[in-house]
Structure 1
């Protein structure tokens, strides 16, 4: 019985839904981490003060804002190529020899039978994951808070 259909079924049953699910979860986790980093940066900018002209200013009051990033797309690509061969070889060779010597006749026969069944399977795979990240302006509410903070802080001289 051929093993080729069984191997084909195994190769074609790749866990594509799980791969897509894991990519989605990874993108969501990475997006959350980037957002948390931007919020921490905003808090640091609000508490980091520098002196200009004898007055103290935090970075936010001077117009610095944290950078926010967002994933715009994520792509997973998988390629699989495989080849399978199955072959059967059957061979029969026969030979006979006849010898006559001093009135005696000698006859010899030889038969050689061979049978071979050969299987060959090769598979190659390649995968890649790509994500595109873009920077975004701060959220509108944060911008409003920053404007109010800058209005309350004296202008640099």
Structure 2
């Protein structure tokens, strides 16, 4: 499926995809947390409905709502990476140095064709997000 977009919309899409790597990974993490939250909210709502049905006599026996979670998420991103420098300026407006920023763009057919990018030069980033149990309370709290 192909969407028709004008030149300005295409520029906005490209600018949203080409971002510092940390920003892209943060966005993936936030999206995963939001998805987990939605799963949890659904299980809570289901359990409340079950509890009401038992209390009203609609259900004869008690059951528990299922809970779902992502025990592990593996990400594999094929990216075009480049570096740029951002000036570090003091209070007087003088440049004191440059901070390197790693910029990434996902490799897809549109990017490859738009920038005549040789995919053999792409980087592959692999990340794993693993579910862990919550931290126990610290004594004295």
Max Rg structure: 1
More helix by share: 2
TM-score class, shorter: 0.3 to 0.5
